[in-house]
Amino acid sequence: MSPAIFPATTIASKLTGVFWRHPKLLLGLLLTPPLLWLGVIYLGSLAALLVQSFYSFDDFSGLVIPEFTLTTYAKLASPANLSIILRTLLMALAVTLASAIIAFPVAYYAARYALGRWKAVFYLGVMLPLWSSYLVKVYAFKLILAKEGIVTWAASATHTDWLLNAALALPFVGGASLSSSYLGTFIVFCYVWLPYMILPMQAAIERVPVGLLEASSDLGATARQTFWTVTLPLALPGVIAGSIFTFSLTLGDYIIPQIIGNSASFIGMAVYQLQGTAGNVPLAAAFAVIPILIMLAYLTLARKAGAFDAL
Amino acid sequence: MPFNASRRLKVAAAAGLAFLHLPIVLIFLYAFTTEERSFAFPPPGLTAQWFAVAWARSDIWPPLILSLQVACVSTGVALILGTLISAAMAGAKFWGRESLSLLVVLPIALPGVVTGIALRSAIPMLHLDFSWITIVLGHATFCIVIVYNNAVARLRRLSGAILEASADLGANAFQTFRHVLLPNLGTALLAGGMLAFALSFDEVIVTTFTAGTGAASKTLPIWMLDELIRPRQRPVTNVVAIVVFATTFLPILAAYYLTRDTSDSPIASK
Amino acid sequence: MPQTPAVTFCAVTRHFGPVKAVDGVDLTVAEGAFFAMLGPSGSGKTTCLRLISGFERPDHGAIHIFGQDVSAVPPHLRNVNTVFQDYALFPHLSVRDNVAYGLMVKGMGKAHRLAKAEAMLDLVKLADYGARKPAQLSGGQRQRVALARALVNEPKVLLLDEPLGALDLKLREAMQDELKALQRRLGLTFIFVTHDQGEALSMADSLAVFDKGKIAQIGTPAQIYTQPATRFVADFVGSSNLLPPALTLALGGPAQWASLRPEALRLADTGPISGVVQSQRYLGTGTRINLTLNGTDLAAFVPAGSPVPAEGSQVTLTFAPEALHLLGDAP
């Protein structure tokens, strides 16, 4: 006769019994190392950042004064700094809109029409640029947008120089060449963040039941009406999910505007330069708090719009 | 298929994909150009000499080795911590579960410059010197989520009852981990590790904040960034770009094949 | 010497926050019984099963398995095995390795355990399927693998959580017979959870009916069916006419809730019940007619072969006095 209860013979078996009697113990053992890392190193750093933003910086001695003050935030509100923030926000907005427009046909085709082998091609075709080296992608555009580069060559080969020159002659966004204008910065941002927009969009469109589209056309809607009244509203959570990435990434980037652009400052550049050469960590920290606040507000709005289901 | 794609949609989709890929092709082309001072197109001539030049350049090797070292250690740390979190998540529901998953995602949800400046301002407070270890500190933090996302996507598809079934059949916790959890999570963890490696290997934004200034903490992406700002032999930079591209491309492809049969797309969750 | 029961619950309670999933349950399952836990979803029956396997721990009360208190015994040390609702087969292992898993973790040698697994697969008529993966099997086959995987460990008690729930009707009926035969042959204690009263009545030696975390009644299928203890049991098991106290009084009983099975009502020339047939439903073995008496809906069963009164016609019904079964609910 076999027993109804087996004895715990090994240490592993006894420990399992201890874990079973004290479920919190196992959980605690599993979570202690990651919580130490993320909680102490990461959250601790964020807290340090927040604390530093309430310190001030003495311009004459070049030292940080570790006393609570709001003067750093007051400096942040100076016209020069506000224009940096506004410029960054406008760029993030423009990049998000343009990415959504470029991404839509790719996402729509991949979600609705690509089958089997082509589905894999589209998937990899978006996934590889997403994951491949950021710096290599930025570098590629330095080649492309350079004055002597392929864009200028292609424009003269197709006799569309006038179009390129007209774009560069535009006030504000234009410049001497694409690689030294807002237009160039904008193009590179769109390129680098595009895959982040395509993937959630595709996922959202895939979730729109084909039956709904058929129902819409059954009820007499034209293809255009179906698109505007059925497909787009249902795909919107995906667009918002994608925009979280394009917006957040543009807000914080400081390498693209440094390499391609007219050397006007963006939030990321301000953070990098202030902490680096100037050593003004408090102001850099205060600048960094801006994208955090913007993203928290954006995430709250996106959650309300149901975008997290599409992530 | 209920509808046929219009020609306009096809062209737009193809153009979108081409926009994503053509720039990378140009990187390869310019590695063979004979013009080293500008990015003239079309290249005046083609040569393979830059590969030999790059090989002989002594300033490329230390950054390459440092980058590999950082990526390996960061991936290791991320694999351990990511596996621990997903093992905890595989078990019963617990208080704070939602907050924990938010905490894991935060390092990539916030802009890299925030993570960078945060670590930058915290490291001196801890009286740590900037070195390759502080680089790992930053990299591992945002690599955890990559491993975790892959593992969680897999866990979601597994029947939760298989862990109970294992205990029911007499397995202790360690046997369940080894014989049930690991085999089922294995490829997802491996794929997560591959992606974490790729991400760490070419990361530059956080790295510039945590690397310090010495030559000893110059990773390959930082070397590239310097070349982008102050170009010397431009085609050599292209050769290095190809190396960086290949070093990240192969693990990504491997991750894709490891998770391909599993219908969900965990590597989409960068 | 009295036989040690296979499982006993003594005032067992399990709460999930404010929800009392199991609320003061006392229970005895005899060795060798085919015991059913019947109830609607959320009635606590599955939690009781999980308390036996050890995946839940009682907040109060004690559980004994073959006389031994298991309050400190983790699941892997209980010689009890479960057939899970969705089978929970290991997707990465072959059918053979799934079945041999329990023997492997207990340290049995490879040749020995694989031989035992094959023998068990033979018993559940899956002899040629050992090399397949669970994903390559049909629902019914997976169910058998889950059964073999549990039985190969020779457990003292086999727990089955809605084991036939995922199968289609035909297969479910065939499996009911097979399970019953298997239990007889092995002489094992089976405890199975179901929400299907037909399944519980036809398979179990005895059953417990669960309602809101408590046991409403324990008994043999015949006892439960003919002598339901409460309105809930009368209504949930089979179909029954529930008579409110006033109606029971009018029909010659005390002023108490009572139940009257439809098949106990007969068409007659005179009788205490008369009314107009409002609807009828053909059931194959007979026809059910519905009428209303003093505001209470009543159903009567007319066996096949007897003339069925048309809808709208006036009928009179009678019943044997002993068919009026009084219920324990407060009036």
How many CB atoms are located within 10 Å of the residue C26 CB?
A: 13
Q: Which of B176, B178, A10, A11 is nearest to C102 (CA)?
A: B176
Q: Is C149 on the interface with B (CB under 8 A)?
A: yes
Reduced to 3 states (helix: H, G, I; strand: E, B; else coil), residue A280 is: coil
Q: pLDDT tens digit string along A104-114? A: 888 888 888 87
Q: What was the pLDDT predicted at C9?
A: 95
Cβ contact (<8 Å) for B2 and A213? Answer: yes
Q: Which two tokens stand for residue C327?
A: 């219920």
Spell out the alpha helix ranges (H) of chain B.
7-30, 49-56, 61-90, 97-109, 112-122, 132-157, 161-168, 173-176, 182-201, 205-210, 220-229, 234-259
> Residue A176 gets which letter from DSSP?
S
What mean pLDDT do residues A12-20 have? 93
Q: What is the pTM of this model?
A: 0.81
Q: What was the pLDDT predicted at A307?
A: 57
Q: Is B184 on the interface with C (CB under 8 A)?
A: yes
Q: What was the pLDDT predicted at C70?
A: 93
Q: What was the pLDDT predicted at C330?
A: 74
The interface residues of chain B toward chain A in range 19-78, judged by CB-CB distance below 8 A, are 19-21, 23-24, 26-27, 30, 38-42, 77
Q: What is the full per-residue pLDDT of chain C (331 aa) written as tens digits? A: 468 899 999 999 999 888 889 999 999 999 999 999 999 988 999 999 999 999 999 999 999 999 999 999 999 999 999 999 889 999 999 999 999 999 999 999 999 999 999 999 999 889 999 999 999 999 889 999 999 999 999 999 999 999 887 788 888 888 888 899 999 998 899 999 999 998 999 899 999 999 999 999 999 999 999 889 999 999 898 888 888 898 888 888 888 899 988 888 888 888 888 888 998 888 888 899 998 887 888 899 888 888 888 888 888 989 888 888 888 877 6
Cβ contact (<8 Å) for C76 and B168? Answer: yes
Q: Which amino acid belongs to residue B35?
A: E
**CA C175 from centre of chain:** 15
Among chain B residues, the shortest Cα distance to A115 is held by B1
Q: What was the pLDDT predicted at C130?
A: 92
Cβ contact (<8 Å) for C76 and B167? Answer: yes
Q: What was the pLDDT predicted at B92?
A: 65
The interface residues of chain B toward chain C in range 132-151, judged by CB-CB distance below 8 A, are none
What CA–CA distance (Å, rounded) separates C24 from C48? 11
The interface residues of chain C toward chain B in range 78-97, judged by CB-CB distance below 8 A, are 80-82, 84-86, 88-92
Residues from chain B contacting residue A38 (CB–CB below 8 Å): 81, 103-104, 107, 141, 144
Q: What was the pLDDT predicted at A60?
A: 80
Q: What was the pLDDT predicted at B25?
A: 84
What CA–CA distance (Å, rounded) separates C83 from C144? 9
**CA A16 from centre of chain:** 43
Cβ contact (<8 Å) for B167 and C90? Answer: no
Q: CB–CB of A217/A223 below 8 Å?
A: yes
Q: What was the pLDDT predicted at A1?
A: 63
Q: What was the pLDDT predicted at C91?
A: 92
Q: What was the pLDDT predicted at A309?
A: 54
CA-based R_g, chain B, Å: 22
What CATH class has C241-326? mainly beta
Cβ contact (<8 Å) for B168 and C74? Answer: no
* Helix or strand run (H / E) with residue A205: helix A182-207
The domains of chain C are located at 7-233, 241-326
The interface residues of chain C toward chain A in range 264-303, judged by CB-CB distance below 8 A, are none
The interface residues of chain B toward chain A in range 148-187, judged by CB-CB distance below 8 A, are 167, 170, 172-175
Q: CATH for C7-233, among 3.40.50.300, 3.30.70.2860, 3.40.50.620, 3.30.2400.10?
A: 3.40.50.300
Cβ contact (<8 Å) for A4 and C68? Answer: yes
Neighbours, chain B (3 or more CB pairs < 8 A): A, C
Indicate the residue of A5, A16, A19 with minimum beta-carbon distance to C79. Answer: A5
What CA–CA distance (Å, rounded) separates B69 from C49? 52
Q: Which two tokens stand for residue B186?
A: 């294995």
Residue by residue, what is the 3-state secondary structure of chain C? CCCCCCEEEEEEEEEECCEEEEEEEEEEECCCCEEEEECCCCCCHHHHHHHHHCCCCCCEEEEEECCEECCCCCHHHECEEEECCCCCCCCCCCHHHHHHHHHHHCCCCHHHHHHHHHHHHHHCCCHHHCCCCHHHCCHHHHHHHHHHHHHCCCCCEEEEECCCCCCCHHHHHHHHHHHHHHHHHHCCEEEEEECCHHHHHHHCCEEEEEECCEEEEEECHHHHHHCCCCHHHHHHCCCCEEECHHHHHHCCCCCCCEEECHHHCEECCCCCEEEECCEEEECCCEEEEEEEECCEEEEEEEECCCCCCCCCCEEEEECCHHHCEECCCCC
Domains for chain B: give ranges and CATH numbers: 56-269 (1.10.3720.10)
What CA–CA distance (Å, rounded) separates A169 from A2? 90
Q: What was the pLDDT predicted at C250?
A: 85
Interface confidence, given as ipTM, is 0.86
Q: What was the pLDDT predicted at A310?
A: 47
What CA–CA distance (Å, rounded) separates C189 from B220? 67
What CA–CA distance (Å, rounded) separates B187 from B174? 19
Q: Is B161 on the interface with C (CB under 8 A)?
A: yes
Q: Which of A241, A210, A248, A243 is nearest to A310 (CA)?
A: A241
Reduced to 3 states (helix: H, G, I; strand: E, B; else coil), residue A58 is: strand
Q: What was the pLDDT predicted at A306?
A: 62
Neighbours, chain C (3 or more CB pairs < 8 A): A, B
Q: Which of A257, A94, A270, A108 is nearest to A190 (CA)?
A: A94
What CA–CA distance (Å, rounded) separates C89 from B69? 41
Q: Which of A236, A283, A232 is nearest to A75 (CA)?
A: A283
Q: What was the pLDDT predicted at B261?
A: 59
* Residues lower than pLDDT 70 in chain B: 1-5, 91-92, 261-270
Q: What was the pLDDT predicted at B5?
A: 62
Could you tell me the fold of the domain covering A71-310? MetI-like fold (1.10.3720)
